[in-house]
Amino acid sequence: MQHFWTVVFYQPLYNALIFFVNILPWHSIGLAVIILTILVKVILLPIAKKSIRSQLALKAIEPELERIKKEFPNKEEQAKKTFALYKDKKINPFSGCLLLIIQIPVILALYQVFIKGADSSTGVLYSFVEHPEIISTVLFGISMASKSLVLAILAGVTQFIQAYIMNNFPKKLKVDVPKGEKKDFKAEFAKSMQFQMLYVLPIFIAVVAYQVSAAVALYWVTSNIFTIVQEYIMRREYQKTL
């Protein structure tokens, strides 16, 4: 299992990092982290697009889902009608889970790469990738090998912005609960999760980002900024179709 992890995830990402360190100006490991992060996000972009589209499409059919719940109290019949609606609207409600499942090993491998850095053993290097003789660990006055309060705060702030965008849908997609109508457990649970994603997770990420190296914090900041821009562009494109 360890061999599979190394060959499939860690080794390719580590070699990519070393490759970028070799070709980038000043042999900067900080710039290499940024480029590698963007490269990974671009590779995952098709899956991310499907996930965002499904998320917005699910929000758009929320009134129809509420109607099904009221008209078909039987859970089995309700499930049939719900999946029939998904099929009719060509929505995959599990696309977000697919993106998460794919991203988890990639993110863990990236953390391992950034924590070990370019000074790790050359045993995992491909034959065509040379170990850099000179490595600059400083970017914008910040040492990638040390902790960085600035990058940790930026990681938390960008995570908050990302969560805010994800939890605020276009006005045309918002579904208001009529006054006097009691929210069910599912709605209350979703509201609780949104609160934690919006306020608790950014604080948690900022704290963790300060505990690890600045290289990992830089990855978080770069990844969050990429996702923010991606979400903003896709939501504007989707809103035009409404």
What residue spans define the domains of the chain?
2-240
**Helix residue spans in the chain (DSSP H):** 2-5, 11-23, 29-43, 45-60, 62-71, 75-89, 95-116, 149-167, 185-195, 201-211, 214-240
What pTM does this model have? 0.79
Among candidates 218, 233, 234, 228, which has minimal Cα distance to 37? 218
Tell the burial category of 106 from Cβ atoms under 10 Å away from its Cβ (0-12, 13-18, 19+).
middle
Provide the token pair at 99: 């993106």
User: Can you read off the two tokens belonging to residue 181?
Assistant: 């109508």
The tens digit of pLDDT for each residue in 4-51 reads: 888 888 889 989 999 999 999 888 999 999 999 999 999 988 888 888
Q: How confident is the model at residue 177 (pLDDT cuts 50, 70, 90)?
A: very low
